Amino acid sequence: MENNKEKTEKKETHSASHEHKHDDKHEHSDKAHEHVTHVRDKDQKHEHAKDAVHEKKTEVKEVKVTKPKVKKDVAVVWGPSVHMSKRHGMYICSFIKGKSIDNAMEDLEKVILIKKAVPFKGEIPHRKGKGMMSGRYPVAASKLFLTMLKNLKGNVLFNGMDLDKTRISSAYTNWASRPQRRGGQKGKRASVMIEAKELSK
């Protein structure tokens, strides 16, 4: 009788432990399922938030208004502290003033090739040319002016000006800060400003 009681007790404990394990497995699967659904909910919320932010950005981009570009009739180029003689720059400025940018560039290219002289004043050798008594060929300064005129042409085109109607209205040269050389001499430095305007007629 006692052995039968022990067997029945063992069966009951075994069935109880089996039921307990089954319940634990069921609870564990429920927790895993809840965790997966929670993660999915989080991902969905995150995606909704991203969509909302993207919609706001698109709305802000649509609000932006482009301002109309104002056409300019003046273009300026500035060369501060250029390595050239102020005297050469002064005569080249008067040489190109009143000309179109393309004509001024052509004349300076001829000066660089020693085919056309720039009018100078003073005790300088006479040169052949219309309205010219004496002149020189400032090649180095002409190369610097040619670079500045190319920049001026780019500014004219960027401002939407008509290149054929544009003329060099103002050009002048001033002294810049001159570096000290050996023996108390000062180096050549000049500041150049060239302005071009579009003619109304």
Question: What integer pLDDT is reported at residue 1 of this predicted model?
Answer: 47
Domain ranges for the chain, please list them.
Answer: 1-65, 74-198
pLDDT exceeds cutoff 70 at 5: no
Question: What integer pLDDT is reported at residue 50 of this predicted model?
Answer: 56
Q: Are 197 and 155 in contact (CB under 8 A)?
A: no
Pairing mode, strands 118-119 and 190-198 = unpaired
Dihedral over alpha carbons 162, 165, 169, 174 (to 10 degrees)? 50
Question: What integer pLDDT is reported at residue 130 of this predicted model?
Answer: 72
Task: Tell me what percent of the chain is helix, strand and coil, each rounded to the nearest 5.
Answer: 55, 20, 30
CATH assignment, 74-198: 3.90.470.10
pLDDT exceeds cutoff 70 at 20: no
Q: Give dist(CA 73, CA 197) in Å, integer.
A: 6
Q: Are 167 and 196 in contact (CB under 8 A)?
A: yes
